[in-house]
Amino acid sequence: MSGSIRGSIVALVTPMRADGSLDLAAFDRLIDWHVESGTHAVVVAGTTGESATLSVQEHCDLVAHCVKVTGNRIPVIAGTGSNNTEEALYFTESARQHGADACLLVTPYYNKPSQEGLYQHFKAVAERVDIPQILYNVPGRTACDLSLETVEKLANLDNIVGIKDATGDSPRGLRLIQRCGKRLAIYSGEDAITLPLMEGGADGTISVTANVAPELMAEMCSLALSGDNENARKINKKLDLLHSNLFLEGNPIPVKWALRQMGLIETGIRLPLVELGAKYHIQVIKALKQAGIALSGAV
C-alpha cells in the first residue's frame, strides 16, 4: 500500500520497576536504542506493552509520552483496541489528539462477537476517529477470529490501512496478502513466520523479537523488502531460536526477562503475570547467544 509503514515495527515492552510502577527513563532509553538500531516504527501500549494492566490514564499518558520522546524520528502506532467499542473509541481519539501516526486495534476479546459485530465495531471507530487504523487479529488470545471476508469488507473503509495477522497460519496469511494486499498493509504478528510472509508480499512485522534484536530484525526486513531473500534468510536463521523461545511463557514474560539480562530494564511486571520460570532461563539465554546478543547482567 502506497505510503504505508513498512519493515520492522517493534511491539515495545513497557518497562516497570519491581513495585510495578512505570519506568519512563528506561522507556526513553529503549526508544533511543530502537531509533539508532534502525527500527522502522514502534507500537506502544500493545499486548507486549501490557496494555491489559495499564490504567486508562496510564495508557493515554504512555502514548503521549512515546510520541513526545520519539519526536517524529520514527512513526508511533498506539495500541487502542478494546472489547468495549466506546473504550476503543476513547483510546483511539486520545491517541489522535496526542499525535500518534496510527492505531492498532485488536479484535474484541472475550465477548465472542459475530463477524457482523466485528465489522460494526471496527467501522464505528474508523468512521468516528480520523487516524489511520490497523486491524489486529490474534485468535489465540482473544477467542475471536476476524475472517478474510470481514477483512475484505473493512478494507473498503478509508481509515483502515492495514492488518496485523497473528493467526500463526502461514498459508492463511498468504491468502490474506493475495486478497487484501493491494488495499491494506499486511504485517506478520508471529515472528516465526515473518520472513515467509514477507517473501509472499507482506509489508513487515509487528515484532516481539525486535525488542532484543532491533538491528537484526530491521536489516532482515529491509533485505526482504528489497527482494534479497537469500541474505534475509541468513539473518533469520540467527533469530529463529528467539522467535520460538521468547514465547515459552506468555508474552511479554520471556522478553522482559531477556531485556533484564541485557541490562536494559529492571525487573518489573504486573500481576497476573510473574517473572519467567527458572526452568526456561537457559533456553532464553541460548537464543540470545545464538543471535549474538551481549548479556551485561541483570540490572
Separation of alpha carbons 22 and 143, rounded Å: 29
Contact 92, 105 (CB under 8 A): yes
Interhelix angle 85-97/56-70, rounded to 10 degrees, is 30
Backbone angles phi, psi at 46, to 5 degrees: -100, -165
Question: Catalytic annotation on 280?
Answer: no
b/e sequence 80-96, b meaning 16+ C-beta within 10 Å: bbbbebeebbbbbbbbb
The catalytic position among 90, 110, 119, 136 is 136
CB burial class (10 A; 0-12, 13-18, 19+) of residue 207? buried
Separation of alpha carbons 291 and 244, rounded Å: 13
Got the DSSP string for 62-90? HHHHHHHHHTTSS-EEEE---SSHHHHHH
Question: Catalytic annotation on 164?
Answer: yes
| Stretch (H or E) spanning 44 | strand 41-44
The catalytic position among 109, 112, 119, 164 is 164
Catalytic residue annotation: 136, 164
